[in-house]
Structure 1
Amino acid sequence: MDNRQEKDMRVVVIGSGIIGSSVAYEAAKAGAQVTVLEAGRIGGGASATSFAWTNATGKRPQPYFALNVAGMRAHLDLAREFGHAPWFHQSGSIEWYSNESDWAAQRDNADLMSNWGYGVEWISKARLAELEPEIDHSAISNSPIVYYPEEGWVHPALYVAWLLRAAKEKWNAEVRPFCGAASIDVHNGVAKAVKTIDGSVYEADAIINCTGSWAANGLDGVPSIPMASNMGILGFTLPIATTLRRQFHMDDLDVRPDGAGRLMIHKISVDSTVTEIQPLDPAGEQALLLLEAVQKVLPAVRKGDMESIRTIVRPIPSDNLTCSGWIPGVEGYYVAVTHSGVSIGPHLGKAVAQEVVGGQAHESLTDFRPDRFLAAKNGMGARS
């Protein structure tokens, strides 16, 4: 194992989303000289268009569930560390299903989550009315209602901004937007530097790829990670006079507040109407489908209330689990990619910093190594 612990260790982080900013912040705090390279706007990839739900609900297998729970707790630790957290809202979430055929699976999942130590409450309509009086009970009918009090959401752009600002001000990290990585210079099996699209070269003792879906595209000189990323659509309403504080999940519909009276809307069945990132009309078909679904639950929403609607590629490793670790056969090159970036970001940042800067494996990442995708080359394996 390579225990690279020198204070002036040079670390280049590729990508500035939830994961990249978390890793950069923790690596800089651990004593590394950190440079963040971002191909576009800071936090402008998947993190910029994310439902950003902090949760471990339904996560399988148990090590993946535990990783998400650790992330939720790390959000609370990070808020205490900063003394405030304008990016984080732990207000809980509410779930019900309109079809009785789904109730058994809902109860099985809630029971398992409870057995694993997760916060689960079955609540009545009367209790729901106390929590969220604007939800129309006719949309619920006789459905059982689950309340997950530990869940919440993040404003990713604010999260990224505050962490990178702290990394710069406290530990002199460098953050370079519109500076996309093109290749990794590898000599004798060791990653030495990142070369950017404009030809600049950033030498490094460790390079950490936090590019999300783009990890599948690969950088010249190093292996790529197989991904099963998929398309998503999110709608953002105009400011609405609503007191909704908690997110709710009904069938395939997800809704939460997004600040200044706006609501964020996601519906799984609408995702399938697009196959690539493209501009969408806030008065178009997808927007109407989202608004119609929400109107049944929140009467305050009206046709024409959509302000913007966006498409995004969600980063998902090919087996749907987090991928974090040293790449076999390329000394000094690390990848951290996950679909659960919002939930596990602050924990993953600490874990990766411990492995890269501290040189010590983090137990929570044992089951999520790149080795499961990539065979070692030239007799060189991942660090233990």
Structure 2
Amino acid sequence: MAFTICRSPVVNIRRFYCGNTLVWNNLMKQAESTVGYSTSFLNLRWLLSDEIANLASNVSKLYGTDHPLLKTVKKIITKSEMPSWGLIILLIAKAGGVNKKIPESERDNNAGILHTQRMVAEIIELIRTGVIFHKSLQLTSELNNITPDIHRGNKISLLIGDFMITKAFEIMAELDNSHIVEIISSALRDLSEAELIGDRDENNEPLPSQGYLEDGTVFNGDVYNISPFEYKKFMGKPTAEWALRNTLGGASLLGIGCLSAVNLGGHSKNLQEESYSFGVNLALICQARLDILSMKYSTKYLSKVAAPILFHMEYDRNFKFENMDMEELRNAIRNGPGVRKTEAILEKYKKNALKCLEYFPENEAKLNLHDITVNI
């Protein structure tokens, strides 16, 4: 099935969320038990490498500087309320099963997947982690105002991110599969394009378009296509712009990881496309949830291109927030339709993702994916 997403950071590839932490932790344990592997180790073995250890020795010098790198490291190590994308890819691989024509020597019989599918999960998790580190750079238009501590933190963030992405390409070379390399590279292109669309403020944070219009333009972001998106016609339409930004910013990476795993399993083109659609929709569900939470809680990161803000700008076309602080902005959005509309698109993406799972055979991995989707 190839359904459409209305085109209305990165997905801001930062956090998945479940309202009940205990339920969420149990879901993660069950899912990791299904694939027979703790996906925490997908990143950890690289983060504990000698190269990273040499850089990490400088992190302690950042205490007290409020550099974003400190929070980034904490999130990645603790994985609080956040399932790894590697886990999602391993689950989709196991849900699809392995074609009987694939030799036994290529299988991990304990996990019920292929060694190459595990490699894809590791590649995607490494890229995602590398991008997270890159996004923890603290930027400003006034370079002279950056302190030596901030410079140090930025250098560490950049080097760790580069290291993780380099390791991802090293594993891709070991895959020896030019098709998989090509499509994963297209996701990296999308991640780069996400940083280039629209205007940015003095801190390099994305800004909404000027003058939002109610428009029925649709964005087929969850329909697999390796070609670049033609993004200009979707800017200024709230649902379309939001979906575009977040598909480029991470959702396509998860979708392509899912597609690659199912491709390696020897499955039909149709099932590969359904797996891509599932990954994209799941990532957009998570971003929509994050955007809602950022409006409710002042401790959450608030993006200026969060869905509730774009919907509010559609509702009140004279709305300006340049002179508002973050709490004033939250209060203004809470009093409008933005959060309600975001909740509506979240439910739409959930239905889309669950529809994709109907194409997979009944098994424990499929049930895990279903439970993760409905509990976000």
- Regarding TM over 0.5, the answer is no
Larger radius of gyration: 1
Q: Which has the higher strand share?
A: 1
Normalised by the length of structure 2, the TM-score is: 0.25
